[in-house]
Amino acid sequence: MANNNREIEIKLAIDSMEKVITKLKEVGAKYLGVVKQNDILWDYSEEGKTFDVLDQALRLRIEKDKKGEKAILTFKGTPHIDKSGTKSRDEFNSEVSNPNSVIKILKYIGFYEAVHLVKRRRVFSLDNVECVIDELKFGNYMELEGSKKDIDKLMRRLNLEKFSVELKPYHLLQCEWEKAHEK
Residue 32 confidence (pLDDT): 96
> Quick one: pLDDT at residue 142?
97
Across the strands, what pairs with 94?
73
Alpha carbon distance 22, 168 (integer Å): 26
Report the pLDDT value the prediction gives residue 49, as an integer from 0 to 100: 67
Tens digit of each residue's pLDDT, the chain (183 residues): 555 799 999 999 998 899 999 999 999 999 999 999 999 999 987 665 677 778 889 999 999 999 999 999 999 999 999 999 999 999 999 999 999 999 999 999 999 999 999 999 999 999 999 999 999 999 999 999 999 999 999 999 999 988 999 999 998 899 899 999 985
Pairing assessment for the beta strands 164-165 and 6-13 based on DSSP bridges: antiparallel
- List domains and CATH numbers for the chain: 6-180 (2.40.320.10)
Which residues have C-beta within 8 Å of that of residue 163, sequence separation ≥ 6? 12, 13, 14, 142
C-beta neighbour count of 110 within 10 angstroms: 10
pLDDT (0 to 100) of residue 33 = 96
What is d(CA 84, CA 80) in angstroms, rounded to the nearest whole number?
11
What is the reported pTM? 0.91
pLDDT score for 158: 92
In this prediction, residue 53 carries a pLDDT of 77
